[in-house]
Structures are given as structure tokens and as C-alpha cells.
Amino acid sequence: MEYWDIYDRDKKPTGRTMKRNDWCLKDGEYHLTVLGVVARPDHKFLITKRVMTKAWAPGCWEVSGGAAQAGEESLEAVLREVKEETGLDARDAGGGYLFTYKRENPGEGDNYFVDVYRFIMDVKDEDLHLQEAETDGHMFATLDEIKAFAAEDKFLHYDSIKQAFEF
């Protein structure tokens, strides 16, 4: 069973945890999620397509990310998620933490902070080992290609993270 730390509205740990996807958070309580944008020096970005069997947003494009596990720092979580989903080790990559935003879903028990990172790496197709249960392909996309997917509602979180694609 995976557990997540519960944070207060100032992003301070409360010392309490919740079970993964057990949407029990009260207003003013949050869990922590992370997103890792992998950028190449040529200003193309690694994006992956969600498998069609996903309950939420099947077939949409996204960047690596997920929830921080209980006791896990934000950077540890994003490095783990990037490694799990793409096979890439971003520990020695350029870049790093960019910004945090939060989502509040009153009455749904699912409020969360999102720490956004950008890692600059010289990545090739053969470097990737995609998590097959999660992804149905990838591409190294230009900002214009990502914007086009976003305009079609086919790129997750774009409006919240668009500055992560600006060099």
C-alpha cells in the first residue's frame, strides 16, 4: 500500500499521511505531486502518450510525473517518476526546480501541490525504456507541437506548466 504525506495550505507537512487515491483531504489539506519536463539542448521536449486503458485522459500527451510518496522529498519523487516512466536518470542533468502551483477541488478530497522541474539532457530514442503499462509511445516535440496538442485538449496540464517549456 502506497501512502502520501498530507500538507497544510503553506506546503508544510502535517505529520499525517493518507492512502494513495483515498480522496479524504479536507479543505486546506493537500498532497504533493511532481512533474518532470525533460528538455534536450535542441529545445525539443520528451513527451509520452498515455495508454488507452487509463481511466483518466487516455491517449493524451504528457510529461513524466506523479505523487510523492510518504517521506519522499520533491526532488527524490520527480527523479523516481522520470526513471520509472522513461528509464532516464536525471540526477546529473542540467536544470532543476522551476515553480510550484496548486490545485484545489473543494468537496472532492483531492487538493494537491505540483512541483515542476525541467531537466536538460541530450537524450536519444535508444536511451528510453518506457513504462509500457503507462505509455503508448513518445516523441521529442517542439514547443509548437506541444501547443498544437494543447489546443486540441490532448496535452495534460499545459496551461499550468507552459512556462516550463520556455528557454
- The mean pLDDT value for 6-15 works out to 97
Domain residues for 90? 3-165
pLDDT tens digits along 42-94: 999 999 999 999 999 999 999 999 999 999 999 999 999 999 999 999 999 99
- Of 148, 147, 128, 145, residue with least CA distance to 137: 128
Cut 0.85: pTM above it: yes
- Give the CATH number for residue 152: 3.90.79.10
Q: pLDDT value at position 140?
A: 98
What is the radius of gyration, based on Cα positions, of the chain? 16
Whether 29 has a pLDDT exceeding 90, the answer reads yes
Tens of pLDDT along 113-165?
999 999 999 999 999 999 988 899 999 999 999 999 999 999 999 999 999 99
If you ran DSSP here, which 8-state letter would residue 30 be given?
A: B
When divided into structural domains, the chain yields a total of 1
- Give the CA dihedral 70, 28, 25, 115, nearest 10 degrees: -40
C-alpha dihedral, 23 to 26 to 29 to 30, nearest 10°: 20
Kindly state the average pLDDT of the residues 27-45. 97
